[in-house]
Amino acid sequence: MQPKAKFRKDYRAPDFTITEIYLDIQLDADRTFVTSVLNVERKTEGATHLKLDGHSFDFLSLKLNGQEHVEFERDEESLTVNVAEQADKFQLQIETALNPAQNTSLQGLYQSGDGICTQCEAEGFRQITYMLDRPDVLAKYRTKITASKEKYPFLLSNGNRIAQGKLADGRHWVEWEDPFFKPSYLFALVAGDFDLLQDKFVTKSGREVALEIYVDKGNLDRAGWAMESLKRAMKWDEDRFGLEYDLDIYMIVAVDFFNMGAMENKGLNVFNSKFVLAKPETATDEDYINIESVIAHEYFHNWTGNRITCRDWFQLSLKEGLTVFRDQEFTSDLWSRPAKRIEDVRLLRTVQFAEDASPMAHPIRPEKVIEMNNFYTVTVYEKGAEVIRMIHTLLGEEKFQKGMQLYVAENDGTAATCEDFVSAMERASGVDLAQFRRWYSQSGTPILTVTDEYDEARQVYRLHVSQHTPATADQVEKLSLHIPLKVALIDPTSGQNLPLRSEAAEMSDVLNVTESQQTFEFFGVKTQPVPALLCNFSAPVKLDFSYSKSQLISLLKFAKNDFVRWDAIQLLFNGELKENLTRLQQGGMMQFSHEFGSAIEMLLDNVEDPQLTALMVTMPKETDFAELFDTIDPVGIAKVREFLIESIAAYFEDRLYKLYNANKCGTYRVCEQDIAKRALRNVCLSYLAFTDLGEKLVKTHYDQANNMTDTLAALSAATKAELECRDELLADFEAQWYQDGLVMDKWFALQATRPDEDVLNVVQGLLNHRSFNFNNPNRVRAVVGAFASQNPKAFHNIDGSGYRFLVDMLIKLNDSNPQVASRLIEPLIKLSRYDGQRQTLMRRGLERLKGLDNLARDLFEKIDKSLQ
Ligand code: TRP
Ligand code: ZN
Residue-wise pLDDT tens digits, 56-78 = 999 999 999 999 988 999 999 99
Residue minimizing CA distance to atom 6 of ligand 1: 263
pLDDT, tens only, 595-652 = 999 999 999 999 999 999 999 999 999 999 999 999 999 999 999 999 999 999 999 9
Do 17 and 132 meet the contact criterion of CB atoms below 8 Å apart?
Answer: yes
The torsion of the CA quartet 731, 274, 345, 555, rounded to 10 degrees, works out to -50
| 764 alpha carbon – ligand 2 mean position (Å) | 34
Whether 264 lines ligand 1, by a CB cut-off of 6 Å, is yes
Say how far apart CA 583 and CA 135 lie, in whole Å: 55
Residue range 147-176: average pLDDT?
98
Q: Which atom of ligand 1 lies closest to the CA of 119?
A: 14
Nearest CA to ligand 1 atom 10: 121
- Nearest C-alpha to atom 3 of ligand 1 is from which residue? 263
- Distance between Cα 109 and ligand 1 center (Å): 15
Instruction: Provide mean pLDDT across the span 830-852.
Output: 98
pLDDT for 645 equals 98
Quick check: CB of 122 below 6 Å from ligand 1? yes
pLDDT for res 634: 98
Residue nearest to atom 7 of ligand 1 (CA): 121
CB 197 within 8 A of CB 213: yes
CA distance 437 to 422: 8
Can you tell me the distance from the alpha carbon of 509 to that of 559, in angstroms, rounded to the nearest whole number?
Answer: 14
What residue type is 455 in one-letter code? D
Please give the DSSP secondary-structure letter assigned to residue 768. T
pLDDT of residue 126: 98
pLDDT in tens, 83-130: 999 999 999 999 999 999 999 999 999 999 999 999 999 999 999 999
Is residue 183 a contact partner of residue 306, using CB atoms and an 8 Å limit?
Answer: no
Residue 794 pLDDT: 98
CA distance 716 to 350: 22
3-class DSSP assignment, residue 771? coil
- With 0-12 CB in 10 A as exposed, 13-18 as middle and 19+ as buried, what is 818? buried
Task: Work out the pLDDT band at 825, boundaries 50, 70, 90.
Answer: very high
- Name the residue at shortest CA distance from atom 4 of ligand 1: 263
CA distance 141 to 179: 8
Q: Tell which atom from ligand 1 comes closest to the C-alpha of 376.
A: 7
- Please name the residue whose Cα sits nearest to atom 1 of ligand 1: 263
| 260 close to ligand 1 (CB < 6 Angstrom) | yes
Which ligand gives the minimal distance to the CA of 321? 2
**Bridge pairing between strands 16-26 and 32-42:** antiparallel
pLDDT tens-digit profile of 431-452?
999 999 999 999 999 999 999 9
Mutate to test the pocket of ligand 1, among 293, 376, 379 (most ligand atoms within 8 A of CB): 376
Q: How many helices (H) and strands (E) in the chain?
A: 30, 32
CB of 297 closer than 8 Å to CB of 262: yes
In a mutational test of the pocket of ligand 1, which residue from 109, 255, 260 has the highest number of ligand atoms less than 8 Å from its CB? 260
Least Cα distance to 813 among 797, 828, 825 occurs for 825
Is the dihedral angle over the CA atoms 849, 854, 859, 862 positive or is it negative? Answer: positive
Instruction: State residue 232's pLDDT score.
Output: 99
Which of 531, 536, 527, 557 minimizes the C-alpha distance to 546? 531
Residue 867 pLDDT level (bands cut at 50, 70, 90): very high
Report the phi/psi class of residue 92: left, alpha or beta, with left for phi > 0 and alpha for psi in -120 to 50: beta
Q: Kindly indicate the confidence band of residue 10, based on its pLDDT and cuts at 50, 70 and 90.
A: very high
How many angstroms does the Cα of residue 263 sit away from the middle of ligand 1? Answer: 5
pLDDT, the chain, mean: 98
- Whether the CB-CB separation of 517 and 465 falls below 8 Å is answered with yes
| Confidence class for position 1, pLDDT limits 50, 70, 90 | confident
Q: Could you tell me the distance, in angstroms and rounded to a whole number, from the CA of residue 663 to the centre of ligand 2?
A: 36
List, as ranges, residues with CB under 5 A of the ion ligand 2. 320, 323
- Closest residue to atom 2 of ligand 1, CA basis: 263
H-assigned helices in 628-725: 634-651, 653-662, 672-688, 694-704, 708-720
Q: How many CB atoms lie within 10 A of CB 87?
A: 9
Contact (Cβ atoms closer than 8 angstroms) between residue 438 and residue 481: yes
325 and 296 Cβ atoms separated by less than 8 Å: no
**Whole-number Å distance between alpha carbons of 644 and 576:** 8
Mean pLDDT within 398-403: 99
Residue 268, pLDDT > 90, answer yes
Check if 121 has its Cβ closer than 6 Å to any atom of ligand 1. Answer: yes
Residue 70: what pLDDT? 87
Three-class DSSP category at 199? strand
From ligand 2's centre to the CA of 431, what distance in Å? 27
CA atoms within 13 A on the CB side of 230: 32
> Active site residue: 292, 298, 386, 627, which one?
298
Q: Are 828 and 803 in contact (CB under 8 A)?
A: yes
User: Does ligand 1 have an atom closer than 6 angstroms to the CB of 119?
Assistant: yes
DSSP secondary-structure letter at 781? I
pLDDT of residue 629: 98
521 is known as an active-site residue? no
Ligand 1 atom nearest to CA at 305: 1
CA-CA distance, 445 to 479, in Å (whole number)?
12
| H or E element in which residue 94 lies | strand 89-98
What does each C-alpha distance from 525 to 493, 551, 559, 653 come to in angstroms?
Answer: 14, 17, 17, 42
Contact 661, 610 (CB under 8 A): no
Residues in the chain: 868
Taking the C-alpha atoms of residue 371 and residue 360, their distance in angstroms, rounded to an integer, is 12
Nearest atom of ligand 1 to the alpha carbon of 320: 15
**What is the whole-number distance in angstroms between the Cα of residue 69 and the centre of ligand 1?**
36
Task: Judge if the beta carbon of residue 220 lies within 6 A of ligand 1.
Answer: no
Quote the CA–CA distance of 371 and 365 in Å, as a whole number: 15
CA of 551 relative to ligand 2 center, distance in Å: 40
> Which of 263, 303, 322 maximizes ligand 1 atoms within 8 Å of its Cβ, making it the mutation to test the pocket?
263
Cβ-defined contacts of 221-224 (< 8 Å, 24+): 221/279, 222/276, 222/277, 222/278, 222/279, 222/282, 222/283, 223/195, 223/197, 223/254, 223/276, 223/277, 224/197
| Closest ligand by atom to 823 CA | 1
Distance of CA 120 from the midpoint of ligand 1 (Å): 9
Specify the residue with its C-alpha closest to ligand 1, atom 9.
121
Q: At what angle do helices 610-617 and 337-347 cross, to 10 degrees?
A: 20
What one-character-per-residue DSSP string does 336-372 give?
-HHHHHHHHHHHIIIIIHHHHTSTT---SS-SEES-G
Mean predicted confidence (pLDDT) in 809-836:
98
Spatial distance between the Cα atoms of 426 and 429, rounded to a whole number of angstroms:
5
Q: Report yes or no on whether pTM surpasses 0.95.
A: yes
Cβ neighbours of 650 (radius 10 Å): 13
| Ligand 1 pocket check for 123: Cβ under 6 Å | no
Ligand 1 neighbour 465 (Cβ under 6 A): no
Among 283, 309, 14, which residue's Cα sits nearest to residue 183? 309
Residue type, 261: G
Respond yes or no on whether the N-terminal peptide bond of residue 122 is cis (omega within 30° of 0): yes
- Which of 104, 119, 121 has most ligand 1 atoms within 8 Å of CB, for mutation? 121
Cα–Cα nearest to 8, from 263, 318, 445, 355: 318
Cα–Cα distance measured from residue 385 to residue 218, given in angstroms and rounded to the nearest whole number: 37
**Banded model confidence at residue 2, pLDDT cuts 50, 70, 90:** confident
